[in-house]
Amino acid sequence: MTETPARTDIGDQGAYAAAVQTAVSASAAYYGEGDSPLDDDAFDRLVRGIAAYEAEHPEHVLPDSPTGKVAGGAVAGDVPHTVPMLSLDNVFSAEGLEAWAAGLLRRLGREVASWSVEPKLDGLAISARYSGGRLVQLVTRGDGAAGEDVSRGIGMITGLPGRLAEPVTVELRGEVLMTRAQFEDANTARTAAGGAPFANPRSAAAGSLRTKDRAYRVEMTFFAYGALPLDGTDEGTAARLRELPHSGIMELVAGLGAHTTAATPVPAITATTMERVRERVEEIAALRAELDFGIDGIVIKADAAADQADAGISSRAPRWAIAYKLPAVEKITRLLDVEWNVGRTGVIAPRAVLEPVEVDGSVVTYATLHNAADIERRGLRIGDHVTVYKAGDVIPRVEAPVVHLRTGEERPIGVPSACPRCGDEIDASQQRWRCVRGRSCHAVASVRYAVGRDQLDIEGLGENRIDQLIDAGLITDFADLFVLTHEQVIALDRMGETSTAALLAAIGAAKAKPLNKVFCALGVRGTGRSMSRRISRHFGAMDAIRAADAEAFQEVEGVGPERATVLVAEIAELAPLIDKLVAAGVTMTEPGATGPGEPAPDAEAGEAGASGLPLSGLSVVATGAMSGPLAGLSRNEVNELIERAGGRASSSVSARTSLLVAGGKAGSKKDKAEKLGVEIVTPEEFAGRVAAFL
């Protein structure tokens, strides 16, 4: 099967000439200050379109065409490289990878001894030259033959030590990038100094490394992907660098004290079969959204030095390595508007309205903007071109404006001076603004959430009925539901004897729901169904939760210092509502829980303790139609079962998944689990493991 990656259609010679000019200009900006007007995906599509046009019209090829050139032929430097610093060719599918590997085997006339598989880091390629173990020069890739001296960056890059562990003369090659935290810090520093925010982490690293004079300091990170001898390298070290496989070189580099991917969640591995290579590609891709640095693909290399030497290089790329490109998770689009929405807890949240753009396989129209301070810090304006980032199941977010694309028609973003829902005052004492009325500002949303299926599950309370109850002054929060009388309910429009009795019966049944359901219904910020279950099982009773301080909350799995502080404040704020629930006779205990500090019961006795549980420490995903003892259980009920048995329920399969419960028509999650080597069991087999908790 031949892969056909998307490309820009170029219809005639004029369009071709314009495309070449656009590509060269964009490439110069990308490898210069990192401020290209095109995102990576748009640039790649354009270059593929240029190449396709040139294949059909070789007589029209322009000398400055970016095809077949390192950095698109747009960037040069004045420091010659000791060995050409080449780019990599790309494939975009498993079929493309197989075709490339087959071609390499034909070229070699033998099997590849082993493959190296590692993430393709989304940064700026540099060479770092050491003399006698001391870092003396940093050089960018440039046009592959020569690069720019950026030694002024020495001392700003973690993972690139000023002195190596041994006094060797060597050249390390790798990527300089910014982690998400470093990117946020760099933008904070740059805007505080009066500069425009960087568009994305890669442009931040490139711009910061090249800036000669700055009024602020930034931090970047280096990951090595190779090492070469230099003039002055002792013969023993030079011989090792020439003869070691790539994996051996990376071990040597790590031993010298430089960063490699070995200490990250996506370390390089070696594989002896293409089947394992494909598996590792899937594993790295699955972890992409969880990384704190950007990757845009996976690099597959022939590991042995002999295989690399025999395969050779082309004019722009080694023939023994390929980049398996992943779908773009960052695109450039326009910010059309900003909406200010009030959530069920009274938080006022800005949301970006975007010109629709496809990112990571889905069309994005809205993205998070966090808060008003975030908007101001990023310097956003209505009409801006902005970079939008999305990976996996992560909610899309606006990174920053692409300032150099501004036309002058952009306008400031209006910030509300009063609550956009009720018109009352705004509490702006914290970064996340809230209406001073809190949950009562959006009582409909708060009550609707509380009575939902995954919380109290009260049938017959749709949005219109809740509106009626609030408008009639019968409820101000969901605790008021439990003191409604027959006379009050039947007096509502379109409520007869039967419907009134059914609604009151459903409300009465909700009183007996376990604590985790009640706690979830409270809508405490920073919690959801899983966290509510964990908190309820840990403390056992609402009284214990209310008495807990931040330190006590941190004993719950998944609760860190920041979330613990929010929990304490939220529970204190909810005290009047909790008091009303207690007075109404709502259940405030969790069946089977031990409470903090108490010994865990024996799991075989049918009780869930804090340890010794069958799923302790396991991340479990359930998918497909459940059967056997699990038949009829909702997905949320299955997740509750997982957590009662000590596991952690998850909705997506990744390399961190421990177990997949695959019911009928399990589909893509089962396929992914098989590729990742995750243990897969049937619902019947799973029921056997957790029988004590059914």
CATH number corresponding to 515-583: 1.10.150.20
Fold held by 610-693: Rossmann fold (3.40.50)
> How crowded is the C-beta side of 545, counted as CA atoms within 13 Å?
30
Q: Can you list the alpha helix ranges (DSSP code H) found in 257-313?
A: 274-287, 305-311
19 — pLDDT class (breaks 50, 70, 90):
confident
Q: How many angstroms separate the CA atoms of 583 and 685, rounded?
A: 44
Highest mean pLDDT among 17-26, 478-487, 662-671: 478-487
Catalytic pick from 69, 120, 325, 672? 120
Q: Which residues of 503-520 are buried (b: 16+ CB within 10 A; e: fewer)?
A: bbebbeebeebbbbbbbb
Please tell me the predicted confidence (pLDDT) of residue 270: 95
Query: How much of the chain, in percent, has pLDDT values that exceed 70?
Result: 92
Residue 681's identity, in one-letter code, is: V
State residue 95 phi and psi, 5-degree precision.
-65, -40
Model confidence band, residue 450 (pLDDT cutoffs 50, 70, 90)? very high
The pLDDT value recorded for residue 2 is: 44
pLDDT of 94-135, one tens digit each?
999 999 999 999 999 999 999 999 999 999 999 999 999 999
> Which range in 498-502, 597-601, 630-634 is most confidently predicted, on average pLDDT?
498-502
Kindly report the pTM of this predicted structure: 0.61
Count of C-beta atoms within a 10 Å radius of residue 613: 21
Q: Which residue in this structure is represented by tokens 């004029």?
A: 14
Give Cα separations from 520 to 180, 372, 449, 454, 577 (angstroms): 31, 28, 9, 8, 13
- pLDDT on residue 480: 94
Give the integer Cα–Cα distance in Å for 400 and 299. 29
pLDDT averaged over the chain?
86
For domain 330-427, the question of CATH label 2.40.50.140 is answered with yes
pLDDT average, residue stretch 181-199: 85
Coil, helix or strand at residue 621? strand
CATH architecture of 80-325: 2-Layer Sandwich (3.30)
- The DSSP secondary-structure symbol of 26 reads H
Distances in Å between the alpha carbon of 557 and those of 228, 514, 526, 571? 46, 20, 13, 18
Q: List, in sequence order, every residue forming a beta bridge with 317; answer none if it has no partner.
A: none
Q: What token pair was written down for 619?
A: 């991340």
Give the tokens for residue 372: 């008003």
Angle subtended by helix axes 575-583 and 561-573, to nearest 10: 60
DSSP-assigned letter for residue 483: G
List, by residue range, all CATH 1.10.287 domains of the chain. 13-75
Q: How far apart are the first and last CA of the chain?
A: 48
* CATH 1.10.150.20 domain span(s) along the chain: 438-510, 515-583
Q: CA quadruple 96, 100, 101, 103: dihedral positive or negative?
A: positive
Please tell me the predicted confidence (pLDDT) of residue 692: 84
Does the pLDDT value for residue 354 go beyond 70?
yes
Q: Does the annotation count 665 as an active-site position?
A: no
In the chain, ranges of CATH 3.30.470.30 domains: 80-325
**Backbone Cα Rg of the chain:** 30
What distance in Å separates the CA atoms of residue 35 and residue 404, rounded to the nearest whole number?
8
**Residue 206 CB-half CA count within 13 A:** 23
Taking residue 118's Cβ as centre, other Cβ atoms within 10 Å add up to: 26
Fold of 13-75: Helix Hairpins (1.10.287)
Would you say residue 7 has pLDDT above 90?
no
pLDDT at 519: 95
| Beta carbons of 272 and 299 less than 8 angstroms apart | no
How many whole angstroms from its chain centre is CA 5? 24
Query: What would the pLDDT profile of 362-376 be if each residue is shown by its tens digit?
Result: 788 999 888 888 898
Q: Which residue has the tokens 């590792």?
A: 280
CA dist 128 and 156 (Å) reads 13
Residues of the chain with CATH 2.40.50.140: 330-427
Residue spans in the chain of domains classed CATH 3.40.50.10190: 610-693
Between 301 and 614, where is the model more confident? 301
Question: In DSSP terms, which residues pair with 271 in a beta bridge?
Answer: 115
Which class would CATH give 438-510?
mainly alpha
Please tell me whether residue 552 adopts helix, strand or coil conformation.
helix
What is the per-residue pLDDT for 42? 76
Amino acid at 677: G
Instruction: Supply the pLDDT for residue 237.
Output: 92
pLDDT, mean of residues 654-681: 87
| pLDDT at position 34 over 70 | no
475 and 492 in contact (C-beta within 8 Å)?
Answer: no
Q: How many residues are given for the chain?
A: 694
Which of 282, 274, 118 shows the shortest CA–CA distance to 655? Answer: 282
What mean pLDDT is predicted for residues 63-72? 66
How far CA 40 is from CA of 30, 160, 559, in Å, comes to: 9, 27, 37
| Mean pLDDT lowest among 41-45, 155-159, 432-436, 544-548 | 41-45
